Structure 1
């Protein structure tokens, strides 16, 4: 197994990049075995400041100042890159590049126009960096980009301003960013979107309006702390995705709260578990309307019960009046 890995690595090395490797030494190295050789070559790659150009793909361990013509794929493996300014990738030979991959490079920011020279770029992967937003002004032609992958960055909020110019985007990967908010209208212009990965973020609920006018997007939503309350639209949205086979890893799209539903698939929730409280016609601080009796303030009554109560009150009133009249007459007769 060690020999196979070493041979694969040596296929990307050029003697001009590694002066310590003579032609004869290179041939003998391919026959050597053991962990020591593998570690040695990996260390050479790490310390090297050159690139290797293989089958239209340029592999670099640092950001070069010159680029050969005819490059279609650019893969850069660096660390602690910081902010990419507007001049680093300013080169005429980058016009042919269709795919750029810069993962785990410690990129904290990208200046507007920094990727302006990539006029044919259709795929951009910036995973495992420290970016906090997405900006179409990074690129010269954002409208031709079809794949954008920015998982494991520091994006918290998605808005329409971030994505509106990526009109031809078909695959968007934003997993493991800590996203907690998606503003309405974020995906309005992404009519070509077919795959959306929002897994392992901090989303709690979604609505169909967030994804208007998208209709046939395959979504990955697992690993979010979904709140399965009485929001019928949210549950309906997830159920609809599941019924149309558009929800990837559906079994892992589960409720985080309320506690009674924790671990249950969101698309399988049929009962509302939100606490309910009794509803009264008005509160104690309110004054009852003339059409209502004081008693109904505390004991909600139906129409029949209230009518009976009113009749009883009238009867009591008449009886009281009759009693008062009798007493008055009795008193008058005894006085005179």
Structure 2
């Protein structure tokens, strides 16, 4: 079998319609060339297979959150901060360093030359350019959450979001709720789509109209809930699928004169222990980020060291509903 030679700078230059000097500058981050040209050259190099790494050399793993690319600090959110800490600990135990990429790096092109042996990508949306570039370079990937563009042989760790959503909704109905709404995300990650789809199916089975409020991280006072929580047919329970939603709902209830849980039952998906100390304490869903991250790192290291022998497909981590007073929980007897 003949061996296919690696592409040269001249090959890249011809494909990108630039000079070899421009290719050199673009790949090395030097020279005075436009960002559009630099990006085009790097994407061409990746597409042609330039610089595909051989066996692990850096003993470094990367972590990135690629949904909602932009200047937001995901490490300030309890789920991500706990996941990053657990992943770092698990990687160190296997002898690997960890590089944690800022969220806005998902929007640039630096990952075309990122020096990692493998990458853990959290909440990868459809059309994820980072995932596409790293795949082209042959770098092993493991996803926290189902990737937006799954391929045969992909590896990911996730919760059963349909089962968890149904558990929460059934709990709210059992506690006396009659009109249950959902606050869900508008991003392209699997989590938002899975939770929203499960809620829609649950409503359809009961002949109920879905009541979905888009998540707005900047809405500290919960004003996006005002229309939902007023009027004769207002919602009397809300499942907030994102971390700040519980506090947003408590703020909205206080402004609108609603008692929690007598008038409004609240459940929030969050890893923030502070919800146990709010007034009233808020029922939360934990997705167990530590277990998820440790499982993902274990699969990733096996891929890096074993050349892809790990079984593809999902690793399912159980979620848990922690029932507190906000959803109508009764105090324990005795």
TM over 0.5: no
TM-score w.r.t. length of structure 1: 0.24
TM-score w.r.t. length of structure 2: 0.24
Higher helix share: 2
Larger-gyration structure (1/2): 1
